[in-house]
Amino acid sequence: MKKMLVIAVASLLASQAFAADPIKDRKEAFKQYKPVVGQMGKMVKGETPYNKDEFAKLATQLEELSQKPWQYFPAGSTAGKTDAKPEIWSKPAEWKQAIDKHKAATAQLKQVALGGDLAAIKKQFGATQQTCKACHDAFRKD
């Protein structure tokens, strides 16, 4: 009985440690971007047929995803396997600006996607990807 209690406490602690691992959480959030951006990219490039509703659904998902990773960058969360550069915390204004630009680009992409003008979509998809790249260049180790 006592042993079972010890196991229960140990697994509770383990699950709390898991929940309190912001590096893991933010990586997980970024990983969710990949399939969504990948599918959109294929449609934009014509590798899969463009479908207005499907693209709009993906753009809506991307806009939701773009709200998520930033809560998992608490000060000091640099210990462990992370590619986050210290500039995230030493240049908070630039970091915030990179996030805001990214959110604005994805919101705009969603609007354009709902409109269904493929030329405009291509342009805005490129602009959105540029906000990923710009932030990675400045704030992610390569």
Residues that bind ligand HEC (CB under 6 A): 23, 26-27, 30-31, 33-34, 37, 82-84, 98-99, 102, 131-132, 135-136, 139-140
69 within 8 A of 26, measured Cβ to Cβ: yes
Q: Of 83 and 117, which CB lies nearer to ligand HEC in the complex structure?
A: 83
* Residue 110 beta carbon to ligand HEC: minimum distance, rounded to whole angstroms: 13
* Residue 142 beta carbon to ligand HEC: minimum distance, rounded to whole angstroms: 10
The CA radius of gyration of the chain, in Å to the nearest whole number, is: 19
Q: How far apart are CA 131 and CA 112, in angstroms?
A: 17
* Residue 54 beta carbon to ligand HEC: minimum distance, rounded to whole angstroms: 18
> End-to-end CA distance of the chain, in Å?
50
